[in-house]
Amino acid sequence: MCGICGFIKDRIRRDDALRLLERMTSRLVHRGPDDDGLFVTEDGSVGLGHRRLSIIDLAGGHQPMTNEDGSVRIVFNGEIYNFQELHAELEKAGHVFKTRSDTETIVHLYEAEGPACVERLRGMFAFAIWDDNRRRLFIARDRLGQKPLYYKADSGRFWFGSELKAIIADDDVPRELSPAALDMYMTYQYVPHPMTMFSGISKLPPAHRAIWQDGRLAVERYWEVDFDTEVPRSEGEYCEMTRSLLSEATKMRLIADVPLGAFLSGGIDSSITVALMAKSSSERVKTFSIGFREKKFNETDYARMVAERYNTEHTEFIVEPRCMEVLGDLAWHYDEPFADSSAIPTYYVSKLTAQKVKVALSGDAGDENFAGYPRYRAVKVAAMYDKSPSLLKALFAPGLWRHLPVSVEQKSLRRRAKKLVLGLNLPPEERYLNYIAIFDEARKRALYSEGFAGRLSAAGSAIEFLLDTYRRAPRRDFVSRTTFVDLMTYLPCDLLTKVDIASMAHSLEVRSPFLDHKVVEFAAAMPIGMKMRGFNGKYILKKAFADLLPPEIISRPKMGFGVPISRWFRTELAGFIRRVLLDKTTVDRGIFHREAVVSLIDEHTTGVFDHGYRLWSLLMLELWHRTFIDAPGDVPLDNLSELL
């Protein structure tokens, strides 16, 4: 796992190009502390930079790496799990290898197949290849979006990087807020691809490749999972194939020349991953868990059950409210406002894990692949409502339920139920957005100042991001379509971003068997009845792995990797959130009505309503401003302790 960056610029001296590349790579040291490499063409117009976290071929994997004659040069971030079979195939075809790294396999595969090479790779990756003979740059990102890749194309110039902070290290790149991206962030708690919070800088979406040549950029999708075709199989066949594919995917992810471990939450996905690791590994598995004092958010008892069953070397850490001390680090590492508060425990579990191993396996994507989120129950209920008689619909008319009291508990069934009922009169896609949104359209309108709202007049609606994805899977039941939408949006933009940034902040590589594209393709063809039985998700997973897990793990409801921020903002951190959000610096940005923010804080701290997630979103937005707009973004904020 590594950090990559580079540029194509005319009229730049080679010495200046080298200095720029050094600045860019210096901001990626955390992604690759073991080695670094720079390449600049003689005329200074092309630069490739690399920071390396050594996992495979520790001695021979230095980058940038070239083909035999030096005409093709690559910087690569990720792991290719089928590189050994590709290596053998390419060697048989006459390619000469100097190393046993997966990186060199991509170089020779590109020589043989050009940009189509990416379709042969099984793994997680983001890379850039400079083809000197064709004078073109080829970039690509893995199918599910495990590894990030950002770029900026402007006036015949091009920049790319694993993180935004590498691109904005160049003074030629302006750091300006994108109002449309901010509006998206307020809805989703992340900035969806291809947008970034910086105007003019983009994310390369998952499963996309691009070529920069002659001052022009061509971007295209190279893979799409088929979510329109169901494959009829018996329950037994689905159980057998689920177990076989996940076992194979897990075994492939144990290839490393360094120690490995696993994140163990106590949920079914991470528990299956640990069980399969234990079956495939000759060494004792190391497992790592994070917990909270608040019982409702603590899963360590369940994690301990699995650790004891497989005799793992288990380590636990309890997160306290003082974790706000790392907020400056979080704001800097994520580069954009990122409001998934589970970034806090993910940051800590990564820090804990990195003290003992360099690679950790996780259970990411189990919920999207096998319909595990509780919100899919709400989607199913709503779909049943849509088909119900008019008389029954009248009983659930939103107007009748609008004044139902809402629990101030962060994880409240009553709160979720009211949110569902109030959206029943909406089209299914809009209803789902209303259900998952942090700020709905009405709340955003009340919050935005007139001046900022005016800047949004030309921007598209936030729902278009979701609708565009729903349109790509039109012929399945709505629950299946929604799992596809989450797989294509929430998973890469939120969950995988969270894990990549939090883990790489501590120079830790994270791999997930559930993200293997063959597992994803298999799960996509599975009828929803195999995933959800009644209102219980992950039916086939529980059936397939029942003999490997404690019964308590199989039967327990999903908890999620939540954080008790709502309680923290009413107690230990009530003063902190008020001071930051009502500070003159924050208010003077002119984005929000001060009175509307005061109302949110007052309603939350007095227990009238739970605005914990909304306040967290506003907090992370302000910390991003202070890190990257008010300051150069070269170091984390260091004065937050004054506000605690």
Sheet hosting strand 509-511, strand order edge to edge? 313-319, 286-292, 260-263, 359-361, 509-511
- Angle between the N-to-C axes of helices 343-354 and 327-334, in degrees from 0 to 180, rounded to the nearest 10: 90
Taking alpha carbons only, the member of 83, 91, 142 closest to residue 500 is 142
Catalytic residue (choose from 2, 117, 239, 493): 2
Sheet hosting strand 123-131, strand order edge to edge? 65-66, 72-80, 123-131, 136-141, 208-213, 216-221
What is the SS3 assignment for 451? helix
Residue type, 412: S
CB 541 within 8 A of CB 370: yes
> What is the C-alpha to C-alpha distance for residues 177 and 53, in angstroms, rounded to an integer?
32
At 359, which helix (H) or strand (E)? Answer: strand 359-361
Residue 556 burial class via C-beta count within 10 angstroms: exposed 0-12, middle 13-18, buried 19 and up:
middle
CB 139 within 8 A of CB 4: no
Residue 147 burial class via C-beta count within 10 angstroms: exposed 0-12, middle 13-18, buried 19 and up:
buried
DSSP state at residue 536: B
The shares of helix, strand and coil residues in the chain, as percent rounded to the nearest 5, are 45, 15, 35
| 418, HSE (Cβ side, Cα atoms, 13 Å) | 13
> What is the C-alpha to C-alpha distance for residues 360 and 509, in angstroms, rounded to an integer?
6
> What is the C-alpha to C-alpha distance for residues 102 and 57, in angstroms, rounded to an integer?
9
> What is the C-alpha to C-alpha distance for residues 469 and 85, in angstroms, rounded to an integer?
34
Tokens of 259: 């120690």
User: Is 2 an annotated catalytic residue?
Assistant: yes
Pairing state between β 136-141 and 150-154: unpaired
CB 317 within 8 A of CB 352: yes
| 562, HSE (Cβ side, Cα atoms, 13 Å) | 20
Catalytic residues: 2
